[in-house]
């Protein structure tokens, strides 16, 4: 009986001691995997380098050339008066004067026939706005919403900014 207990102890002791070559083989396997991954990524970049670098260069040169040909134009929107959406009995009016910065057009005369569209965007949005919507930082939200609508309405032309020159609530 002592032989089986001693044999079991030796087997447990041998199992508890890790083999010396097991960690080294895992380490070698991980190093080989990392090296293969680096080679794979490097090969992909080398294979596609012409497409990656030349397309970004062409985009930068193209956009700079277009910006030099047609610098941004400020289009003045005539003063407009609009009433806000009030559910109560007394009307609330807004007087608004703005400038729209547009790029991609040769001059301001090219946009003169689209000023009516721009005014319609302003009027439509202001009629939907309640007086409490423009309190605090509501003017900023109003500006951003009108800018989004202008970009959608004047789609081939790029609307870069909107300046509210005069904003009076009465």
Identify whether residues 83 and 120 lie together within a single domain. Answer: yes
Q: What is the pTM of this model?
A: 0.57
Among residues 16, 49, 69, which one ends one of the domains? 69
Q: Where are the beta strands (DSSP E) in 62-105?
A: 73-83, 93-103
Identify whether residues 127 and 151 lie together within a single domain. Answer: yes
Q: Given pLDDT bands bounded at 50, 70 and 90, which one contains residue 148? A: very high
- Give me the residues paired with residue 94 across strands: 82, 169
Q: What is the Cα–Cα distance from 150 to 158, expressed in whole angstroms?
A: 9
Identify whether residues 36 and 82 lie together within a single domain. Answer: no
CATH number at residue 105: 3.30.479
**Looking at residue 60, what is its pLDDT?**
57
CB 92, CB 131: distance < 8 Å: yes
Identify whether residues 85 and 160 lie together within a single domain. Answer: yes
Identify whether residues 152 and 84 lie together within a single domain. Answer: yes
Report which of residues 91 and 6 the model is more confident about: 91
Identify whether residues 138 and 63 lie together within a single domain. Answer: no
Q: How far is CA 63 from CA 51, 58, 120, 148, in A?
A: 18, 8, 30, 22
Mean pLDDT across the chain: 80
Identify whether residues 87 and 160 lie together within a single domain. Answer: yes
**Looking at residue 150, what is its pLDDT?**
92
Residue 115 pLDDT exceeds 60? yes
* 2 within some domain: no
> Is 52 exposed, middle or buried (CB count within 10 Å of its CB: 0-12, 13-18, 19+)?
exposed
Q: What is the Cα–Cα distance from 48 to 12, expressed in whole angstroms?
A: 56
pLDDT digits (tens, 9 = 90+) for 90-114: 888 999 999 999 988 877 887 888 8
* Segments forming the whole domain that contains residue 64: 28-69
Identify whether residues 158 and 81 lie together within a single domain. Answer: yes
pLDDT digits (tens, 9 = 90+) for 30-63: 899 999 988 888 888 888 877 766 665 565 555 5
Three-state DSSP at 93 gives: strand
Minimal CA–CA distance to 150: which of 105, 111, 100, 113?
100
Structurally, the chain folds into a number of domains equal to 2
Looking at the chain, list the stretches that DSSP marks H as alpha helix, in order from N- to C-terminal side: 2-16, 21-69, 115-128, 138-153
**Looking at residue 69, what is its pLDDT?**
67
- Give me the residues paired with residue 163 across strands: 99
Looking at 129-165, list the stretches that DSSP marks H as alpha helix, in order from N- to C-terminal side: 138-153
Minimal CA–CA distance to 107: which of 75, 146, 68?
75
């Amino acid at each position: 009986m002592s032989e089986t207990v001693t044999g079991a102890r030796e087997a447990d002791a041998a199992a508890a001691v890790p083999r010396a070559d097991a960690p080294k083989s895992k380490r070698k396997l991980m190093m080989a995997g990392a090296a293969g991954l680096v080679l794979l990524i490097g090969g992909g970049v080398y294979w596609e380098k012409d497409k990656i670098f030349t397309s970004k260069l062409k985009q930068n040169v193209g956009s700079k050339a277009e910006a030099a040909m047609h610098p941004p134009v400020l289009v003045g929107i005539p003063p407009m008066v609009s009433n806000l959406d009030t559910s109560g009995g007394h009307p609330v009016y807004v007087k608004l004067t703005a400038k729209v910065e547009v790029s991609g057009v040769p001059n301001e005369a090219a946009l003169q026939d689209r000023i009516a569209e721009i005014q319609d965007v302003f009027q439509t949005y202001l009629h939907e706005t309640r007086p409490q919507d423009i309190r605090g930082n509501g003017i900023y939200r109003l500006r951003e919403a009108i800018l989004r609508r202008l970009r959608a309405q004047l789609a081939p032309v790029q609307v870069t900014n909107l300046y509210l020159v005069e904003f009076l609530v009465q």
